[in-house]
Structure 1
Amino acid sequence: MVLHKENVKVLDVQSDWLQSYISSPEKQQQLYKRTLMVVVISQIFGGAGLAAGVTVGALLAQDMLGTDSVTGIPTALFTLGSAGAALLVGRLSQRFGRRSGLAAGFLAGGIGAIGVVISALTNSILLLFISLLIYGAGTATNLQARYAGSDLANSTQRAKSISMAMVSTTFGAVAGPNLVDVMGEFAISIGIPALAGPFILAAAAYILAGLVLLILLRPDPFIVANAISDAQRTTSNLPLEENSILLSINKRGIFAGASVMVLTQFVMTAIMTMTPIHMGHHGHALKDVGLVIGFHIGAMFLPSLVTGYLVDKIGRAVMATASAITLLISGSLAAMGPADSMVVLITALALLGLGWNFGLISGTAILVDATPPSTRAKTQGSVDVLIALSGALGGGLSGIIVAGSSYSTLSIVGGVLSLFLIPVVIWSRGSEK
């Protein structure tokens, strides 16, 4: 009986705590701003962790396996790992809140990065593959953090809040590739292969990102948003027919948003994965690779504030169409430009990142518009599984295509595939707000 009374007391306290946010728009806005600040800090660290695998993952596999044909495997593995992690992070967030889900994902990514370092030190291919799968949890969490900022945002703030989470990733993500040489020298100084150096940085960065969220993301924005939604639903009396129409629009929006993000992820990952190998074949040094990938990742995240403003201002469908056109130009330039030109490579990869940025932010906004808080985190996690799987497929196929044909063929095919975004967004215009 005593235990029962204590449980009731805890529930009453929690109810009172949530009620203070439900009844106060001012407190909601304060928590919205605080959440964005915490997400920004965690994403700075998370971006640095993300950059390691993108920059040297393929090169490390090439060095350990001694062949080019399997250099797409690292990207495939950590994106495949991110698929499973996306599902788990989404389910954890739905049940326990963003704080628990995101912190667990980043900490797992840090453990995976430590495993990669150990695999390089022991020259263990099996441990490398297992560690890359676990490392993928950081990639998934880095993406899912963009949703946390939108939990308490209204429909005119959503793309902006998503973009703020993404742009903060730039600081770490751009610094990461440009620290390749520094981290390589540090790794050598402690008896670790140079290419494992960036993963030392990744381990520290992901673990710090997880700790920031675990300690500072209080109150949890997702739990508050759910409580507000429940309160609004109990006070509304929508006719059954209107509820049915809204459900249909939601399903359409979920499909459209997912399609935009999945296709842009596939094209971007495929071309990006093979660029370091392509550069190595044409005599570019490791620092050149770091510079090109640094510009690429910068373009993936740095324009986010402008992109978010445009998505909210001129519409989701327009910016998704802009994504398709930008990716086509990027693929064409990468295929037809001189391989020894750093200017061409930087421009092509920057456009590749920009096209991805347009697609991810517009697609995410479409998805958030279409999902109520009661199912939002779970649905977002499921969609991010598809995004990760498309990245894994793109990374895996890219090595096979280049080995069987050429980097130019890969780039052209990727650019043309991106055009399929256009009919998808035309069809989805009916669900755009």
Structure 2
Amino acid sequence: MSAPSLTSDPAASISRDGLARHNALVLACAQALGGANPAIVVSLGGLVGQVLAENKQLATLPVSLTNLGLALGTIPAAMLMRRVGRRSGYIFGAGLCAFAGCLAAFGIASSSFLIFCLGTFISGFYGSFVQSYRFAATDAASDSFKPQAISWVMAGGLVAGIVGPQTVIWTSDLIPTAPFAGGFIAQSCLALISLVIVSFLRSAPATAVPQSGSSGGRPLLVIMAQPRFIVAVAAGLVSYGLMSFIMTAAPLAMVDCGYPVQTAALGIQWHILAMFGPSFFTGRLISRFGKAQITGIGLLLIALAAAIGLSGLSVAHFWTTLILLGIGWNFGFIGATSMVIDCYRPEERSKVQAANDFLVFGSVAVASFSSGKLLSSGGWMSVNWLVFPPVIIALILLAWQKTRKVPLPT
């Protein structure tokens, strides 16, 4: 027996979208706080690493470990939420971040690079819960509302773009004997506030997630072998991986050029605002022009950001690079996420979402670690030159898919 359609009853779609709007707003608020987590780590992780690490090539290791924790946490987070539900899982994740922030602050206070790295690694596990907010927003949504639900949640990151860097600026010198430790104490406080917010999340009705017996749908490898899935993951991987690659190196490159930490933090703030600001209309753009088209535009903007980065070393060049990088990431990543949703049936969502995020954020961890080493050995220009080959490959894959007529899974 085939699974019941999620869009066959217009009245039911309206009811589901009311619930989806409530959850999207709750998750957008949680995103506003959870999105500050990576902003704090990116702004401070490399700087703390330069002070604590004996080998300066490992300065960005704390940022890389955050991304590694995110990648490794995607599958356990999905399994936990499948067992206890989205809300309980998100509460657990926020509590984990509160602990991680305190641990990182203790690592700074005790001058232990190992403990500090452990704290940032655990904060990455929290990121695996936060990154699933965009999928959770679609649990009860009709097909027509799903791109907008994703955009609503991602728009919450606009507030994170202000909260994260400003938290760094306001709290970096809060503890004179442990510079930057105050930022990670603040990280814990933000996580605790998020814990309260996610408690208002409502569960999607059982009819919105039909089950196909006890099999959970098709085998994961069968789903992952779909050309549609491969292209969607490749687009997400390139969009997020390259964004992390440049963003991780940018604060260090600015400081190396003689600019103060505050200037670097403000650059990250503009970048995060650019990452999430377009989310107010990205969903509508996708509905009007198509997922592949908006994803492709995002990839082109990332390439343009690298070109600007190659053209000069002024504050304007750095900030313009980070702004274009953020907009390109928004179009590319939201578009790729919408493409992933087309690859699975409702009963397959947990395992496919986890597999997608594991692949994407695993690449992000590699990108952020490679960025620090490349910046140390080859400089800021080398970081930007390496953007172009992956973008070209991803664009070719998107163009190839446009020539194929592949039906959606039913």
Fold-level similarity (TM above 0.5): yes
Amino acid paired to 1:216:
F
Report the equivalent of 1:370.
343
Report the equivalent of 2:200.
216
Q: Distance in 1 between matches of 2:278 and 2:157?
A: 11
Residue segments in structure 1 that go unaligned for 5+ positions in a row: 1-20, 235-242
Q: Distance in 1 between matches of 2:270 and 2:111?
A: 31
SS of the counterpart of 1:370? coil
Report the equivalent of 2:81.
93
Report the equivalent of 1:281.
256
C-alpha contact 1:86 1:141 (8 A) present in aligned 2: yes
1:360-389: CA deviation from partner (whole Å, max 9, x where unpaired): 100100111222221202211121111211
C-alpha contact 2:139 2:208 (8 A) present in aligned 1: no
**Correspondent of 1:169 among 157, 160, 176:** 157
Report the equivalent of 1:325.
300
- 1:34 Cα deviation from its structure 2 partner: 1.4
Q: 1 or 2, which has the higher helix percentage?
A: 1
C-alpha contact 1:183 1:194 (8 A) present in aligned 2: no
Aligned 1:17-416 pairs, distance under 5 A? 24-188=12-176, 191=177, 193-213=178-198, 215-218=199-202, 220-221=203-204, 224=205, 226-230=206-210, 251-337=226-312, 339=313, 341-416=314-389
Query: Could you say if the C-alpha distance between residues 399 and 104 of structure 1 is closer, same or farther in structure 2, counting changes exceeding 3 Å?
Result: same
- 1:395 Cα deviation from its structure 2 partner: 0.8
Which region of structure 1 is more displaced relative to structure 2, 93-102 or 308-317? 93-102
Q: Distance in 2 between matches of 1:185 and 1:198?
A: 9
1:280-305: CA deviation from partner (whole Å, max 9, x where unpaired): 11110011011100011111111112
Residue segments in structure 2 that go unaligned for 5+ positions in a row: 1-8
TM-score of the superposed pair, with normalisation by structure 1: 0.85
Q: Distance in 2 between matches of 1:163 and 1:68?
A: 38
1:130-184: CA deviation from partner (whole Å, max 9, x where unpaired): 2111010222222111111111222222211101101112102322213323101
- 1:22 Cα deviation from its structure 2 partner: 12
Report the equivalent of 2:4.
none
Q: Distance in 2 between matches of 1:165 and 1:401?
A: 33
Q: Distance in 2 between matches of 1:22 and 1:105?
A: 35
Q: Distance in 2 between matches of 1:265 and 1:385?
A: 12
Higher Cα Rg, which structure:
1
C-alpha contact 1:90 1:381 (8 A) present in aligned 2: yes
Amino acid paired to 2:201:
L
Q: Distance in 2 between matches of 1:26 and 1:161?
A: 14
- The alignment's C-alpha RMSD in Å is 2.4
SS of the counterpart of 1:275? helix
Q: Distance in 1 between matches of 2:407 and 2:91?
A: 32
Q: Distance in 2 between matches of 1:369 and 1:59?
A: 41
Q: Distance in 1 between matches of 2:234 and 2:340?
A: 10
Q: Distance in 2 between matches of 1:307 and 1:187?
A: 41
C-alpha contact 1:183 1:198 (8 A) present in aligned 2: yes
1:212-237: CA deviation from partner (whole Å, max 9, x where unpaired): 21x2112x12xx2x533428x79xxx
Report the equivalent of 1:10.
none
Amino acid paired to 1:196:
A
How many residues are treated as equivalent by the alignment? 392
C-alpha contact 1:90 1:379 (8 A) present in aligned 2: no
C-alpha contact 1:272 1:349 (8 A) present in aligned 2: yes
Q: Distance in 1 between matches of 2:190 and 2:20?
A: 25
TM-score of the superposed pair, with normalisation by structure 2: 0.89
Q: Distance in 2 between matches of 1:92 and 1:427?
A: 37
1:99-150: CA deviation from partner (whole Å, max 9, x where unpaired): 1232222322222111100100111122112211101022222211111111
Q: Distance in 2 between matches of 1:202 and 1:22?
A: 43
Query: Could you say if the C-alpha distance between residues 282 and 67 of structure 1 is closer, same or farther in structure 2, counting changes exceeding 3 Å?
Result: farther
C-alpha contact 2:302 2:328 (8 A) present in aligned 1: yes
Identity of aligned residues (%): 23
Q: Distance in 1 between matches of 2:13 and 2:300?
A: 40
Amino acid paired to 2:308:
L
